[in-house]
Structure 1
Amino acid sequence: MSQIYFDSADDAAELVDALEREGYLTSLRREGFAGEDDGEDHAWVLQVEPYDDRVIEMVDVYGGWMPGDDRLPATPVDLPEGPKRLKD
Structure 2
Amino acid sequence: MSPIYFDADDDAAELINALESEGYLTTLRREGFAGEDDGEDHAWVLLVEPYDDRVIEMVDVYGGWMPGDDRLPVTPIDLPGGPKRLKD
| TM-score calculated relative to the size of structure 1 | 0.88
The residue aligned with 1:67 is 67
Matched, 1:24 2:35: no
> 2:34 matched to 1:34?
yes
1:12 is aligned to 12
SS in 1 for 2:12: helix
Structure 1 residue 77 displacement after superposition: 2.5
Q: Normalized against structure 2, the TM-score is what?
A: 0.88
Structure 2 unaligned residues grouped into runs of 5+: none
Q: CA deviation at 1:84?
A: 5.1
Gaps of 5+ in 1: none
Matched residue count: 88
RMSD of Structure 2 on Structure 1 (CA): 1.9
Distance 1:39 1:83, change over 3 A: same
SS in 1 for 2:33: coil
Matches of 2:51 and 2:19 in 1, distance apart? Answer: 11
Give 4+ residue runs of structure 1 displaced > 6 Å after superposition.
85-88
| Overall identity of the aligned pairs, in % | 88
